[in-house]
Amino acid sequence: MLRYIVRRVLQAIPILIAVSLLVFLMVHAVPGDPLNALVSPDRQSGVNLTALRHQYGLDKPLLQQYFFMMKGIFSGSLISFSERVPVFEMIRQTLPVTATIGLAALLISAVVGVILGILAAIRPFGVVDQSLSVLSVAGLSIPSFVCALILVYFFTGRLHLLPGSGFFASAAQQWSLGSILPHIVLPVLTLSVGLLPEFYRFTRSSVLEVMSEDFIRTARAKGLSQKAVLVDHGLRNGLLPVITMFGLNVSYVLGGSAVLETVFGIPGMGWLAVTAAMARDYPMIITTNLIAASLVILSNLLTDVLYAVADPRIKLERK
């Protein structure tokens, strides 16, 4: 397994290089001057723009600018154009916010979705199954920003139960469960609306497929009870593919965080990426995209490893 992990890490290097190069070329292709992020246009008349371009390497050819930014990323010295502080200092403050909301939504969606999927698979095409299927389609169809606005309208505007923005109380000096819990309920619920139907539908189809296998019929022929057949044989095999959903949904969480954190005013990495794109903050844009790509690659690697641990029949070294 160690050899497989090392090989996957080495394979990730050219992927990250390609991502960084693609993002770099895309941000330079967008019209506009990045100096506007450094100095507002109304103040540029009293600033030596040539010296400023040289200081941030913007007067160099594109290839040299790329290597200049990559060097700054790996050394940790890259400075944000808009905030004038190290990029990784801002990411260190915002990444835990996104991770907290994303992990909470993933865990809640996985637990609830798996339970509902099992209930639907026990009696397929029944009232419960059909009702949950309709709700799952509705959950997948509603855009996340629409769901966020609906939740804010009811729970904040009408019922006044939960705050509609921010991450912790303004009086809180440090993170604590009591200060952040009321603020993450609505973002977690919004993110879960899109995640839960996928876990439900995947669990339902996987358990239904396993329950029609020959070894299930053999277990029933031996006189085992329905509970023993379902728990000891059906779920143990049927829930294995659900592990892959975690790796696949990390990209959904990272993409959804940009929308949710903007709607809810949460200072997370998604909000940071959006503000960087609006300000043409090249260092922040490239760094946030590289971190997002690294998290997706890491989650896929962990998913493969966990799948092999859960199912000894899978030999990663042979892949």
Domain membership of residue 160 (yes or no) is yes
Residue identified by tokens 């990663």 is 316
Of 121, 100, 102, 99, the residue nearest 110 (C-alpha)? 102
Residue 154 CA to residue 142 CA, distance in Å, equals 16
Residue 161 CA to residue 156 CA, distance in Å, equals 6
Domain membership of residue 78 (yes or no) is no
* Contact between residue 286 and residue 20 where contact means Cβ atoms under 8 Å apart: yes
Domain membership of residue 246 (yes or no) is yes
Domain membership of residue 309 (yes or no) is no
Owning domain of residue 112: 89-279
Domain membership of residue 203 (yes or no) is yes
Model pTM score: 0.82
- Please state the domain count of the chain: 1
Domain membership of residue 134 (yes or no) is yes
- Residue 316: pLDDT band (50, 70, 90) is low
Q: What is the pLDDT of residues 75-116, one digit of tens each?
A: 888 888 878 888 999 998 888 889 999 999 999 998 999 899
Q: What is the pLDDT of residues 125-173, one digit of tens each?
A: 888 888 988 998 888 888 888 998 899 999 988 888 888 877 766 554 5
Q: What CATH code is carried by the domain that includes residue 124?
A: 1.10.3720.10
